[in-house]
Amino acid sequence: MLTSSRYLEAPRRLRAFVRAHETNLVVLALLIGIIGGLVVAAMSALVEGLHVVLFNLEWGDRLSSQFRIEPLRAILVPSLGGLLLGVAFLLLSRWRPAREIDPIEANALHGGRMSFRGSLIVALQTVWSSGVGASVGLEAGYTQLASGLAASLGRAFHLRRGDQRIMVGCGAAAAIAGAFGAPLAGAFYAFELVIGGYTPASLTPVGVAAVSGYFVAHAFGELSLGVGVAPVGVVLGRDLVIACLLGIIAALVGIAIMRGVALCETLLSNSRLWPALRHALGGLMVGLLALVTPQVMSSGHGAVHFAGFVTIPLTVVAMMFALKIIASVVSLGTGFRGGLFFATLFLGALGGHLFAAGVDSILPGLKLNPNVYAIVGMSALSASVIGGPLTMSFIALESTGDLWLSTAVLVAVILSTLITRELFGYSFATWRLHLRGETIRSAADVGWLRDLTVRRLMRSDVSTVNVDMTIDEFREKFPLGSKTQVVAVDDAGRYAGLTLVADAHAVDIEAKHGLVDILHHRDVVLYPAMNVQEAIAVFDQAEAESFVVVESGEEWRPIGILSEAHAMRRYAEESEQRRREAIGHI
């Protein structure tokens, strides 16, 4: 949802100064990075506080790292918490009927415009969902609120479209860098997933935001993954082959998880269950699973400690893997707010450990290090679900500090991403947008294409004549040179065809003939909601130079004319403007 209310504005002179100097964007990025780090620290503290109060934990303990949770709390807290969240959704839908947009959608379709109020609501819903134990990650709330604040700051300075999109990316970079203790991963998260590509213009501000977000978040507490493995040494050809196999398996599991969430949502939407009870049902199911293993609750951030996997029986690891998938699918499918970033890291680590054990059982001479393949697995599965192969590679590199291990990780995530795009075509975020009717597959800016509509491009000064007019009458009303083309309509004002004035004055046309004999494009028209690409495609297919624009519906009332030359020129101008923004020249 884009807010239509008034927003704060910086003084005019300050706005002009910031817009005139690219260096000033770096200052804004630094401020956004600080804000992003504070967002991560504040939301993490709120969730931890909810866990302490609702689950009777000690301050500093993590819910997903507990060996046991009181059965009554495990069932009642997520169930009642889900019910309260469902009721809140119903009340909120009356106040704000339109859904909120996330940073990826904002940058792809809306030029980086986001609602601060809506972002705050999403962040609070995410905090509550994770706080009551639902199996969702906080990263969606982190990036939503940090990017929403960044977008508001950009609007306050009336930034250009390209700069506004970069500010949204800065907010996401700061949030991810602070959450995972990985500035490089945060920066590339912004490049790959939020901005939609790396550009020279975005390098410095995004990098500054990521680094500052990292230091601010870690000033309040250690939030890293806590990954620790011994040096791997030189990666051999066999390691790359094994990593490729793990990448393929991770892609298939990732696709299954994403389709599982969609299937759960579809089944519930087709049921007659009261919407608020859907969240309660999801909470109840998560609570029941938590009675078996508490690691299914919340994001799983506290459970991602690889050193402990070696001592856990494989049957227990397999059970945790299966139940965590079910808990994540059910939580998101029943409507809890959150993401899958943390969950897929945890699931990938479990899956990598199981994979190493399985390979060792078949080829015992390999003696694979389960911690190593836990890291490869977490990166490959996250790359499949979240997207961003370089982001996941840098998380592994910054968490372990092992460059050779990152080589195997890179191979796995590239193959996982490739297979996911080939077989499925979407990441989790863009898949959910696809289910809502959108067709975007990344945050690359396509919003300007949607803004460049036929209605904006057409000429509205349309000359019309009745289709029953004779050629002689037409010649008298429109002599040569007076007009180029005239729109013919019937008695009801419905479009009947396009008449060229030159055709009416041709020497081989008898004056007694009717206008209907020289009409063009009777059945081919443009609609005002079409974008420029769709209009150009119609021009190409019909091999025409001009088309009439009619109102959508059965009346076909003409409202304008658009020429192919004008559409092509405006398309070229806008494309060049986007190219100049990408390389940092305005």
DSSP string over 38-106: HHHHHHHHHHHHHHHHHH-PPTT--GGG-S---HHHHHHHHHHHHHHHHHHHHHHHHH--SPPPPHHHH
User: Residues 77-125: pLDDT tens digits?
Assistant: 999 999 999 999 888 888 776 677 889 888 888 888 898 999 999 999 9
Report the alpha-carbon distance of residue 548 to residue 544 in Å, rounded.
Answer: 11
Same domain? For 391 and 513 the reply is no
User: Residues 26-80: pLDDT tens digits?
Assistant: 999 999 999 999 999 999 999 999 999 999 988 878 887 788 889 999 999 999 9
Same domain? For 53 and 107 the reply is yes
Please give the pLDDT value at position 306.
Answer: 46
Same domain? For 120 and 261 the reply is no
Same domain? For 457 and 497 the reply is yes
Among 335, 337, 338, 328, residue whose Cα is nearest residue 303 = 328
Please give the pLDDT value at position 581.
Answer: 65
Q: CA 119 → CA 16, 335, 376, distances in Å? A: 27, 17, 33
Provide the residue range defining the domain that includes 347: 237-277+284-435
Same domain? For 116 and 178 the reply is yes
Q: Flag whether 585 is in a domain.
A: no
Same domain? For 222 and 89 the reply is yes
Report the alpha-carbon distance of residue 574 to residue 107 in Å, rounded.
Answer: 17
For 194, which DSSP code? I
Q: CATH code at 422?
A: 1.10.3080.10
pLDDT lower than 70: segments of the chain: 1-7, 17, 97-98, 222-234, 301-311, 436-447, 507, 510-513, 581-586
φ and ψ at residue 468, rounded to 5 degrees: -85, 0
Q: How many domains does the chain have?
A: 3
Same domain? For 361 and 454 the reply is no
> Sign of dihedral through CA atoms 192, 193, 199, 200?
negative
Report the alpha-carbon distance of residue 181 to residue 264 in Å, rounded.
Answer: 33
Structure token pair of residue 416: 């996982």
- pTM (two decimals): 0.83
Please give the pLDDT value at position 142.
Answer: 95
Q: Flag whether 408 is in a domain.
A: yes
Q: Flag whether 441 is in a domain.
A: no
Cβ contact 173:36 at 8 Å: yes
DSSP string over 512-526: TSBGGGG-B-SS--B
Among 549, 521, 544, residue whose Cα is nearest residue 455 = 549
Please give the pLDDT value at position 481.
Answer: 80
